[in-house]
Structure 1
């Protein structure tokens, strides 16, 4: 099911969305200050490419001060917009029965879009 879900996801927008995140992350990496944020954006892009069969995992170093500072900066400048986008697209997909599995994947991407530092996507 995860392979089929990921293929359908990629065909109907997941590839373009993930590619947009990756290109945005590479653009952020052009400056020294933007490198940590660019890496997290690329991480979200990779997670967006194949969300089926993966879980959002909080790492043990996620409670450090630097991670919290980076997450606050991220939420202010990038995170809330990305999270609202996933919420909006998930709500639209949840209208139909066929769209429910894809809506669930959008909802699963919201926490990593809000607070990417100290989180990662791992295989289930």
Structure 2
């Protein structure tokens, strides 16, 4: 990881990244407890790691990365994402949006606000995403 990414990630953790990553972990734990929610738990834990350290990485659709569809990027992934949206996606997206608005008030917070807006979009539709280094 580049030194700039390390610095940005440290600032990110202080400026809202830690509490939003905790939100993703809580969502993943709740999904894992239900047993039936294990596919959502895996996606939540993957995005939690990305939410904790987003600089130097990016989220991409798995089918664009591998060149072929799988369960998470096909019709079952669509159904899974719709269920996720109703159960947990909307409140995680709302948390990212609120944090982005608070950070956008300051000049130094604008890049972090932009990262939270990207994560808000991912919060609505996380299944079928893969985290890759830039």
Distance (whole Å) between structure 2 residues aligned to residue 16 and residue 82 of structure 1:
11
Match of 2:32 among 7, 22, 29: 29
Match of 1:69 among 72, 79, 91: 79
Q: CA deviation at 1:91?
A: 1.6
Q: Deviations over 1:34-70 (max 9, x none)?
A: 1111112111211111011222211213541100000
Q: CA deviation at 1:111?
A: 2.1
Give the number of aligned pairs.
124
- Residue number in structure 1 paired with 2:99: 89
Distance (whole Å) between structure 1 residues aligned to residue 130 and residue 101 of structure 2:
24
Q: CA deviation at 1:23?
A: 4.0
Indicate the RMSD between aligned Cα atoms, in angstroms.
1.7
Q: Say if 1:55 and 1:122, in contact at 8 Å, map to a contact too.
A: yes
Distance (whole Å) between structure 1 residues aligned to residue 50 and residue 90 of structure 2:
17
Unaligned 5+ segments in structure 2 are 64-68
Q: Say if 1:112 and 1:120, in contact at 8 Å, map to a contact too.
A: no
SS at match of 2:33: coil
SS at match of 1:117: coil
Instruction: Tell me which stretches of 4 or more aligned residues in structure 1 moved more than 4 Å.
Output: none
Q: CA deviation at 1:100?
A: 0.8
Q: Deviations over 1:64-121 (max 9, x none)?
A: 1100000110111111111121112112211111101111110121222110111122
